[in-house]
Structure 1
Amino acid sequence: MHPALWVSKTGLSAMDKQLSVISNNLANVSTTGFKKDRAVFEDLLYHTVQQPGGLQSQNTQLPSGLQMGAGVRVSATQKNFAEGDYNVTDRDLDVAIQGQGFFQILMPDGNMGYTRDGQFQLNSEGSLVTSSGFLVEPQVTIPQDASSVTIGDDGTVSIVRQGSADSEGVGQLTLAGFINPEGLSSIGQNLFVETAASGAPIVDVPGTSALGNVRQNMVETSNVNSVEELVNLITAQRGYEMNSKVVSAADGMMSFVIQQL
C-alpha cells in the first residue's frame, strides 16, 4: 500500500474534525457567554531512514538525514476565553462579568458548575437560578414584594420593597477564577466543571483576587467572529480537497504500475 494513502487519510480525518469544531462555533454564534474552540494539530511519528547528524563515513556527518512523516492528527481543542461583546438588556436579573471569573452554579448532583452566562431567573421560591433551573451559588432569594432589584459591581444584591424607599441587602454574588481556565471541561448548558488541569477555583467577591466586576442589565455575547470562522471553514475545505487529491494521485500511480506490469 502506498504510504501517501495513509498520510492523506490522517489529513482527511484531521480536516473533518476541524470542520466539526468550526461548525460548533458557528452554531453558537448567538449563545450567551459562549467561548469559541480551535483545533490544535500535531504531526505524527516519523520513520527515520537516516538519522540527522548520523555518520556517513568516519569523518563526515549527515547534515539533515532522511525522515518520512506519517501524517497529522488533532491533539486537542482549545477554548478561547477572550471576552465577547456586551449587550444591554435593561433586565434587572441579567448580569455580565467584565473581566475574569465565572458564576458558580449548584448542579442537581451536588457538584459545582461554572458559567459566564448571566441570564438569571427566579424559581417558585424566589431563588436566583439559570435558564435550566440550577441554583446560583451562593444562593440569593428575592422577596415576592420586591419592587426593584439592584446588583452592584461588587456583586451585592439589594432590593426595594413595595411601599418603601429604603434599600435592603438580600445577598452577595461571588465569582470563581481558575489558574488555567482552558483546562475546564465543557458539559453543555453553558456550564463548565473543574478538572485537574484547570486547578481548584479561587472564590471571592467581584473586583478582588484578579476577578472581574459584574454589570447589571447586561449580558456577554458569544466571542465567535463569524467572518473569521467562515475563513477557517474555507481553509478546512481546501485542506480536505488537497488531501483528496493526494489519494487520487496515489491511486493513479498504483493503477499505472498495475496496468503496465
Structure 2
Amino acid sequence: MNNSTIGASVSMSSLQQRLDIIAENIANMDTDGYKSKEGSFEDVLTRVQQQSKDYDQPGRSMPLGFNIGFGVRVPKVTSDWEQGTPKETGNPTDLALQGNGLFGVQVNGATAYTRQGNFHFTPDTANPDNMMLVDNTGNPVLNTQGKPLTVPKNVSAAIDEKGRVLTKTSESAPAKVAGTIMIVEPISKSALQAVDGNFYMLAGGVTPQQAFVQRAAGEASEVGVRSGYLERSNVDLSKEMTEALQIQRIYQLTARALSSSDQMLGLANNMRG
C-alpha cells in the first residue's frame, strides 16, 4: 500500500472511534452524574521524504524534503469533570455532590465510585431488622468503613450536608447518626478509569491512598452533599452535534482520499500489465 492508503485507512478507524465517543455522550445526556468523554487526535507517525538535489534551485527558501504522515489516532479517552447542573427532586435520599467528590458503592463485590446519587432504602436481606441504602440498580452504598450502610427498620432517615445518615424513631426523639456515606476526593482523575454503569474504578496498580485525599480525623472536607437534588449530566448537546458533523465531514473527505488512492493503484497495475 502507498502512504495515502495507509494514512486514510488509519485515520478512518480513529474518526469512527471519535464518533463512537460522541454517540455515547449523546446517549447519556439524561444520565444523572454522567461525565462526558473526550478524545483528541495525534499523528501516528511522520517522516521526511528527501528530494533530489535537482530541486535545490536558486531562490528556493525551503529546505529539501517534505513531511509524509500516516494518519491520526486517538491516544486516550478522558472524562470532562466539570460539575453538572443540580436538579431538585424532593426525594430526601437523592443526593448531589458539590465539589470534587465521588460516592463509594459496592459493585460485584468491589468498591466503585460514582457521581450518580439517586439512592433509596431497601430491606437488608442479611438482616431483616435493617434497611440498606442502595443505588438505582441495587448496589449497596458504602459507609466510611467500606461496608454497606444500613439503618434500623421503622425509623425516619435524613442525610445532611456532610453525608451523615440521621435517624429518628419519632418526631420528638433525638436524631442519631446511623453512619456516614463514603465520599472520596480524587487527587488525580488519571488514577481512575471509567467502567460500565456510570462508575469509576481505581486504575491498575493504584491504591486508595495514592488516588484520594487523605484527611485527618475531624478535618473538614471540601465536598458538600445536597439532599433532594441530583446532578445532571454535563453533556453539551449543541457541542456534541457540532463535533459530530465536523467528524463526519472529515470522514467523508478521508474516504474519498482512500478511494482516489485505490483508483491510482488500479491505473498503475493496468499500465504495468
Q: TM-score range by the shorter chain?
A: 0.7 to 0.9
Further displaced range: 152-161 or 237-246:
152-161
Match of 2:220 in 1: 208
Deviation at 1:99, TM superposition (A): 0.8
Match of 1:179 in 2: 187
Match of 1:144 in 2: 153
Match of 2:6 in 1: 6
The answer to whether structure 1 residue 190 and structure 2 residue 198 are counterparts is yes
Deviation at 1:32, TM superposition (A): 1.1
Give runs of aligned pairs for residues 52-131 of structure 1, distance below 5 A. Answer: 63=63, 65-109=65-109, 111-125=110-124, 126-131=131-136
Instruction: Measure the CA separation in 1 of the matches of 2:174 and 2:226.
Output: 22
Aligned-partner residue type, residue 11 of structure 1: S
TM-score (norm 2): 0.82
Instruction: Measure the CA separation in 1 of the matches of 2:219 and 2:31.
Output: 25
Instruction: Measure the CA separation in 1 of the matches of 2:76 and 2:230.
Output: 29
The 3 A distance-change label for structure 1 pair 15 and 135 is same
Further displaced range: 156-165 or 179-188:
156-165
1:20-52 CA deviation, whole Å, 9 max, x = no partner? 10111111111111111111211012233349x
Instruction: Measure the CA separation in 2 of the matches of 1:30 and 1:168.
Output: 35
1:106-129 CA deviation, whole Å, 9 max, x = no partner? 2332x2111111111222121111
Identical counterparts, % of pairs: 27
Deviation at 1:257, TM superposition (A): 4.1
Instruction: Measure the CA separation in 1 of the matches of 2:183 and 2:171.
Output: 33
Are the aligned partners of 2:93 and 2:227 in contact in 1 as well (CA < 8 Å)?
A: yes
Match of 1:47 in 2: 47
TM-score (norm 1): 0.85
**RMSD of the alignment, in Å?**
2.7
Q: State the number of aligned residues.
A: 250
Match of 2:18 in 1: 18
Q: What are structure 1's unaligned runs of at least 5 residues?
A: none
Instruction: Measure the CA separation in 1 of the matches of 2:258 and 2:233.
Output: 38
